[in-house]
Amino acid sequence: MIILAIESSCDETAVAILRGQAHEPAEILASEISSQIPLHQPYGGVVPELASRNHSLILRPLVETTLEKAGVTVRDIDAFAATAGPGLASSLLIGNTAAKAMACALGKPYLAINHLEGHLLSPFVSASQVPAHISLIISGGHTLL
């Protein structure tokens, strides 16, 4: 199974393409990130409207670059995933709309991914076993203790 995943929860746009099967290690075929730090720096923090507009400008070229680097076409993708939240609503909308549109156009599944669970589980994406672990998330207004 090949999955194209999109992350657009705040001020970075990321696209990854992974190959694997359930309960087995995944192979990251390609991963691309576009940072918006220089865009927001003059304001001393993330400006949500600027973030979402930048996602809408960069996402398609980033998807195309990631597909090319992975050596696959969009028709090779078996499922599309996107960060569903928490995050900036307008930024999440860009990534989710793109993933849902591609999934719908190709008749493939769409997977909504929890942003915080993604952070917790991403270190294990290529692991053959997930060891017992305890996690602590401290992330702005979304702290889980």
pLDDT tens digits, 32-87:
999 999 999 999 999 999 999 999 999 999 999 999 999 999 999 999 999 999 99
Q: Left if phi > 0, otherwise alpha if psi is -120 to 50, otherwise beta: which for 133?
A: beta
Q: Is residue 129 part of a domain?
A: no
Query: How many separate domains does the chain show?
Result: 1
Give the pLDDT band (50/70/90) at residue 140.
low
* pTM, rounded to two decimals: 0.91
Q: Is residue 141 part of a domain?
A: no
Domain membership of residue 19 as a residue range? 2-124
d(CA 108, CA 104) in angstroms, rounded, equals: 6
Q: Is residue 58 part of a domain?
A: yes
pLDDT at position 145 is 62
CATH of the domain at 18: 3.30.420.40
Q: Is residue 131 part of a domain?
A: no
pLDDT at position 22 is 83
d(CA 8, CA 46) in angstroms, rounded, equals: 13
